[in-house]
Structure 1
Amino acid sequence: MLSVELDQIDKNILELVQNDASLSVADIADKVGLSSSPCWRRIKRMEEQGVIQRRVTVLDRNALGLNFEVVASVKLQLPNRENLELFEQAVDGWPEVVECMTVTGAVDYIIRVLTLDMHAYDDFLRDKLLSLGLVSDVQSRIIVRVSKRTTAVPLSLVEDSSSSNTK
């Protein structure tokens, strides 16, 4: 169930901006068959609804020397509300952690960490993650090769509001 109503033009706009946030409103409008003003209003509406959260530039981490990537499973000693909040606050301040997800199962969190090398990751583990005093176990998996990575949301799975009204 959609929390907002989107038609095919909205989805086309979203497809364009999620692949190239540098496009001008005029370029987007031209590609979706609208004039600039209605296109701008649609983009503004989707921003206000929270569908478009922000516009970013995707950097090449390898070109920047951040060649060491790890996915770590983290188990807290005592996963109560206070410790979960303390952990999340700490992670929020660590630039090495580029994703942190609360998960179900045998661990409490999955984090994705980018560093320069294995030594930098070891420093991160010792000086940040384990020094919190909240963590009972960390299982690290070094990423050898990424075969797919995207920031794009699969818009083809989103139902058109115009088609749902006819059902």
Structure 2
Amino acid sequence: MTEITLSATDVKILNILQKDAGISNVALAEMVGMSPSPCLRRVKQLEAAGLIRKTVALLDRKKMGLGVLATVQVRLQRHTEVGTEDFARAMNDLPEVLSCWAMTGRQDFLLMALARDIESFGDFVTHKLLSMPNVRDVQSSLVLKEYKNETAIPVIS
């Protein structure tokens, strides 16, 4: 992976967009000390370079009726490349799964999952995860309280 060298202006743009991707180009340009056209070109260059993957709206899960947030550790029965890739692909089709990471250590995968309530979460684990043919076992931990949940990554030049 090649590292991209960022200018101080690039860093400012990325930090601002991580806080508010809906900011107008005019407001963004003013905040970074540029005129709008060059600022827009710079944002497009950052997108083309893959630094900005996509722009999204972040929803409040509790207001959306999703009161349960959990980490789920999954162990597979077989560790073949096909079995691992099949499981990872299946996670993309489950709306309850926010994130899916292949891991080192005892667990093969770590998931972040959402559900309306404990019963719905139990159904997700029992009827979706544990019913998959290559899943050996599942251990979950429920989030009691969120102290920090950020999407912004540190941008340093």
TM-score for the superposition, normalised by structure 2: 0.97
- Whole-angstrom distance in 2 between the partners of 1:76 and 1:69: 22
1:75-123: CA deviations, max 9, x gaps? Answer: 0001210111110111000000001011110110000110001110111
- AA aligned to 1:116 is R
- AA aligned to 1:128 is K
- Whole-angstrom distance in 1 between the partners of 2:42 and 2:17: 12
Three-state SS of the structure 1 residue aligned to 2:23 is coil
Structure-2 residue corresponding to 1:143? 143
- Within a 5 Å distance, the mapping from 1:13-92 to structure 2 comes to 13-92=13-92
- Whole-angstrom distance in 2 between the partners of 1:7 and 1:21: 19
Structure-1 residue corresponding to 2:124? 124
Structure-2 residue corresponding to 1:152? 152
- Whole-angstrom distance in 2 between the partners of 1:78 and 1:94: 21
- AA aligned to 1:144 is L
- Tell me, yes or no, if structure 1 residue 114 matches structure 2 residue 132: no
Please state how far the C-alpha of 1:37 moved relative to its aligned partner. Answer: 1.1
What 5-or-longer segments of structure 2 have no aligned partner? none
Three-state SS of the structure 2 residue aligned to 1:22 is coil
1:38-93: CA deviations, max 9, x gaps? Answer: 11111000000000000011100001110011101110001210111110111000
Three-state SS of the structure 2 residue aligned to 1:139 is strand
Paired residues in the alignment total: 157
Percent identity for Structure 1 against Structure 2: 37
- AA aligned to 2:51 is V
Structure-2 residue corresponding to 1:96? 96
Structure-1 residue corresponding to 2:9? 9
- Whole-angstrom distance in 2 between the partners of 1:121 and 1:80: 28
Three-state SS of the structure 1 residue aligned to 2:119 is helix
What 5-or-longer segments of structure 1 have no aligned partner? 161-167
- AA aligned to 2:66 is L
TM-score for the superposition, normalised by structure 1: 0.91
Please state how far the C-alpha of 1:2 moved relative to its aligned partner. Answer: 6.3
